[in-house]
Amino acid sequence: METGVARVISLSPARHRDDVLTGAGLLPVLPALRELLPGGGLQRGSVVTTGDWGLLSLALAAGAVADGAWCAIVGVPAAGVRAAAQAGLDPERVLLVAEPGPSWAQVVASLLDGFDIVLLRLPDQPSAQLRRKLEAAARRYGSVLVVAGDWPGAQSRLLVADAEWTGIGAGHGRLRARKAQVIASGRGAGERTRSAWLWLPGPDGAVTAAAEPAGVAGTGPHGGYSGTAEPLVSSG
């Protein structure tokens, strides 16, 4: 419905920024994620990648949404809404576009003008031209595009480098928590690599800071951690 699109777009000659969070151009994130991001938050107008789709993508949006932002999730028909809620991402402020179709880039561009944060799982690898277009849209509207997938030119790249489930054994217990090391690298030579150990998720589904496993030297991408599973509660 081409005319419909053109018409609706023309409805917003002057955008209303009344609902936009003010602040130093940063969207807040959960405390556990702060040290992974330069400035301790998501830079408005930036693109952040999270490797494969997972709880990390949802958790990245949780802090901003708790602060009043709106989040759109694009291209993830299987998004776990309950997991999102447990991680602190209020489903009431979430819009799902599970199947954005072949013109998904246009869908994302439209959502960037309206939603403070857009989580996208790439349906296909976009051309450099398309990427630049979406980067420009994020900059223009001051939104953050969080991409599950590969995005050359992203300002920050987060990656779950190491993860271990606890609470479950060979035929006993259950999945209780996952201790994960997340590595973040920035663009450019000056940007240092950051790292944090997280409960991703913790026993109640929340994403919180975890203690560095004992015996790990440094915080390199592969710290050599080979500890055994440690049940948080006695399994039963």
Partner 1 sequence: MTGHAAAGRRVLVLRCPAWLDSDSASSGNVSSGSASSGNDRADSDGAGGDSAAARAFESVVAVVEDFCPQVEVLRPGVCAIATRGPARYFGGEAELARKLTEAVGRSGVICQAGIADGLFAAGLAARAGPTGLLVPPGETPEFLAGLPVGVLDMPELCELLPRLGIETLGQLAALRPAEAASRFGPPGKLASRLARGLDPRPLIPRPPAADLSVQLEFDPPAEQSEPAIFAAKALADQMHDQLAAAGLACVRVQVQVRCADGQELSRLWRHDGLLSALAVAERVRWQLDGWRGTAGIILLRLVPDQLVRATGRQLALWGDSVPSDRVARAAIRVQAMLGHDRVTRPVMAGGRRPADQVLLVPFGDTGVPQRPADRPWPDQIPAPAPATVFGVPLAASVTDGSDREVTVSGRAQLSAPPARLSADGSPARAITAWAGPWPVTERWWDPRHGRRQARFQLVTEDGAAWLAALQDGRWLIEARYD
Site for partner 1 in 150-169 (CB under 8 A): 163-165, 168-169
The amino acid at 37: L
Half-sphere exposure of 31 (CA within 13 A, CB side): 4
Burial (CB count <10 Å: 0-12, 13-18, 19+), residue 98: exposed
Q: Which of 40, 99, 124, 233 binds partner 1 (CB under 8 A)?
A: 99
Among 48, 55, 147, 184, binds partner 1 (CB under 8 A): 55
Reduce the DSSP state of residue 19 to 3 states and report it: coil
Of 76, 113, 115, nearest in space to 96 by CA: 76
Binders of partner 1 in range 170-209 (CB under 8 A): 170-178, 201-205
Considering the complex, state which of residue 9 and residue 23 has its C-beta at the smaller distance from partner 1: 9
Six token digits for residue 173: 């217990």
- Does the protein bind partner 1 through residue 92 (CB under 8 A)? yes
Between residue 9 and residue 48, which ones bind partner 1 under the rule CB under 8 A? Answer: 9-12, 15-20
Instruction: Tell me: does residue 86 bind partner 1 (CB under 8 A).
Output: yes
The residue (of 11 and 214) whose beta carbon lies closer to partner 1 is 11
Cβ atoms within 10 Å of 100's Cβ, excluding its own: 18
Could you check whether the bond before residue 213 is cis, i.e. omega within 30 degrees of 0? no
Regarding 78 and contact with partner 1 (CB under 8 A), the answer is yes
37: alpha, beta or left? (left if phi > 0; alpha if psi -120 to 50): beta
The residue among 1 and 128 lying less far from partner 1, judged by its C-beta, is 1
8 versus 136: smaller Cβ distance to partner 1: 8
The residue type of 45 is G
Of residues 172, 221, 207, the one with CA closest to residue 54: 207
Number of residues lying near partner 1 (CB under 8 A): 73
Per the CB < 8 A criterion, the answer to whether 210 and 177 are in contact is no
* Smallest separation, CB 38 to partner 1 (Å): 25
Contact status: 79 vs partner 1 (CB under 8 A): yes
CB of 123 to partner 1, least distance (A): 13
Tokens of 236: 């039963």
CB nearer to partner 1: pick between 104 and 151? 104
Q: Which of 1, 128, 189, 217 is in the footprint of partner 1 by CB under 8 A?
A: 1
Q: Using DSSP, state whether 167 is helix, strand or coil.
A: strand
* Residues 111-130 interacting with partner 1 (rule: CB under 8 A): 111, 113-115
Nearer to partner 1, 175 or 192 (CB): 175
Interhelix angle 128-141/104-112, rounded to 10 degrees, is: 20
Give min distance, CB of 175 to partner 1, in A.
Answer: 5
Nearer to partner 1 by Cβ, of 140 and 174: the residue is 174
